[in-house]
Structure 1
Amino acid sequence: MKEKILDKATDMFLTLGFKSVTMDDLAHEMGISKKTIYAHFENKTKLVETSTLELFEVISKGIDTICSLQKNPIEELYEIKKFAMRHLKDEKASPQYQLQKYYPRIHKTMRKKQFELMQNCVVDNLKRGMELGIYRSSLNINFIARIYFTGVTSIKDHTLFPEDEFPISQLMDDYLEYHLRGIVTPEGRNILNEIIHSNHE
């Protein structure tokens, strides 16, 4: 039952937002009593925390699997973006933003975990791209990896990028293209243009 509650809660949090979903909503949606939920999770904060950690693990494993395929580094970044967006339901309810606003302690923990995961992944991606000659050889890897993480997390700030003006899936595509155009060689640019072209078809 605990897993079922967690799955349904995660689904509702991502669709409607961490703030919007109450324990009553969850109980009603599942056709169970609130008492049943509280038997597994002492309060909503604990449920939010467990839900975000579980989701992080799923996304983390998925990213590891994508990275282990050793695809072309440019293609790899697009695959990771697609995978993450699918699991975050295109971030329709701005989960990151709501987490930061209403559950700052959980958000801080998650941000640290995200940074460590992305740092390893992006550093490896940059090194391989440079070895293959599709990223410029003069890149400062540590700087690029950190600025990439900063950008990916900052574009989720709705005060900077209001949703009605910047739909999240388009925003992610624009940011990824912006990041890659700054680091590719002419050969890498050809690969990037091909991917962008095929995504638009």
Structure 2
Amino acid sequence: MKERILAEAERLFWKFGVRSVTMEEIAKQLGISKKTIYQHFSDKEQILYQVIQHKTSRNQSEMDCMVTDTANPVEEILNVLNMMQKNADQVSPNLLMDIKRYYPQAFSLFRQYKEGQIMRSILENIQKGILQGLYRADMNPAILARLRVEQIELAFNHDLFPSDQYSMHDVQAELIHHFVRGMLTEKGFEVYNQYVNKGKEIQPIIYENK
């Protein structure tokens, strides 16, 4: 029952944001009483905290497998984009802002994940790309990794990217493609264009290093 509650809460939080989802709504969707939920969780923030624990753990496992299965750092970072985009349009733009403003313990957990695992993964990707000649050697990997980490939160900023004008899918795609292209060498662009063209369902666009 606890796992069912967490799974349904995650679905509702991601779709509608956290503040708008009540304990009554979670109970209603599961066909149980609020009392049953309170037997497992003291309040909504405790549910949210454990949802984020589970979600970040799953994400990290996926990313670790991705690193093992990909041929190079360019493919790796673009596969991360594909992972993010799977359910991008099903994620409420209010999600992260709700957590940041109203649920400090849960947001602290997200920040730990962002500053630890995500930051380390991006930094390692950049360093590998430089060693393989796919990324420029004249960059500061720590600064670029920090930039990419902050872009994750930036995509959820409703003031910058209102949901009635921009989809989460498009925002994430523009940010990460811009980020990757700024790092590529000529050799890196060859790999990048192969990957992008392979994934095009319509006529491909060839990006050139200018």
After TM superposition, is the score higher than 0.5?
Answer: yes
- CA–CA distance in structure 2, aligned partners of residues 146 and 90 of structure 1: 26
Deviation at 1:68, TM superposition (A): 2.4
Q: What RMSD, in angstroms, separates the aligned Cα atoms of the two structures?
A: 1.7
Over 3 Å counting, the alpha-carbon distance change for 1:168 and 1:87 in structure 2 is closer
Where does residue 173 of structure 2 map in the other structure?
173
Deviation at 1:89, TM superposition (A): 6.1
User: Structure 1, residues 78-133: CA drift from partner, whole Å, max 9, x if none?
Assistant: 21122234366642354212211221332133112222111211111112111211
Residues 38-117 of structure 1: pairs in structure 2 closer than 5 A: 38-86=38-86, 90-117=90-117
Deviation at 1:198, TM superposition (A): 3.2
Q: How many residues align?
A: 201
Where does residue 3 of structure 1 map in the other structure?
3
- Determine helix, strand or coil for the equivalent of 2:39: helix
Instruction: Tell me if the contact between 2:10 and 2:51 (Cα under 8 Å) persists in the aligned partners.
Output: yes
Where does residue 140 of structure 2 map in the other structure?
140
Query: Any gaps of 5 or more consecutive residues in structure 2?
Result: 202-210
- CA–CA distance in structure 2, aligned partners of residues 88 and 172 of structure 1: 8
- Determine helix, strand or coil for the equivalent of 1:40: coil
Structure having the larger proportion of residues in helix: 1
- The one-letter amino acid of 1:45's match is E
Where does residue 122 of structure 1 map in the other structure?
122
User: Structure 1, residues 155-176: CA drift from partner, whole Å, max 9, x if none?
Assistant: 2211111122221111111111
**What percent identity do the matched residue pairs reach?**
26
Over 3 Å counting, the alpha-carbon distance change for 1:182 and 1:138 in structure 2 is same
Instruction: Tell me if the contact between 1:85 and 1:91 (Cα under 8 Å) persists in the aligned partners.
Output: no
TM-score (norm 1): 0.92
TM-score (norm 2): 0.88
Deviation at 1:6, TM superposition (A): 0.9
- CA–CA distance in structure 2, aligned partners of residues 190 and 70 of structure 1: 16
